[in-house]
Amino acid sequence: MNIGNGIKVAEPRAIGIRFERGRLIVALSDDREVSVPLSRYPTLQDATPAQRAAWKFLGPGRGFHWKSLDLDLSLQGLISGLPEVIPAPPPRRAKRRDRKLSRRAA
């Protein structure tokens, strides 16, 4: 990362994660910690402690992956305060019987 005057600073990497009192806390390689309310990550908030504990790093400390929760969180997103986005389910297709009825009504 370039901070001006040509000075380059290494971007911090995640070195650990823990959960305390409704918060997700990420330890960084530069001795800082980032604390975020679990309410911003509903999948983690609703997960069991065992599910929360079953994470792996993405890349060299660039994020976290929970296989059993089908969840990936990037360190940049956490630091930036981005919430988890849960996509809407795909539109439900009408049943064949419903389609026949709607054709007759037309």
User: CATH number, domain at 69?
Assistant: 3.30.2020.40
Decide if pLDDT at 96 tops 60: yes
Residue 2: predicted pLDDT = 58
In a domain, 4, yes or no: no
Decide if pLDDT at 92 tops 80: yes
In a domain, 99, yes or no: no
Decide if pLDDT at 38 tops 80: yes
Which domain, by its residues, includes 46? 14-80
pLDDT in tens, 5-29: 677 777 899 999 999 999 999 999 9
In a domain, 55, yes or no: yes
What is the tally of structural domains in the chain?
Answer: 1
Q: What value does the mean pLDDT take over residues 70-99?
A: 84
- pTM, entire model: 0.73
In a domain, 104, yes or no: no
The identity of residue 8, as a single letter, is K
In a domain, 3, yes or no: no
- Residue 99 burial by Cβ neighbours in a 10 Å radius (0-12, 13-18, 19+): exposed
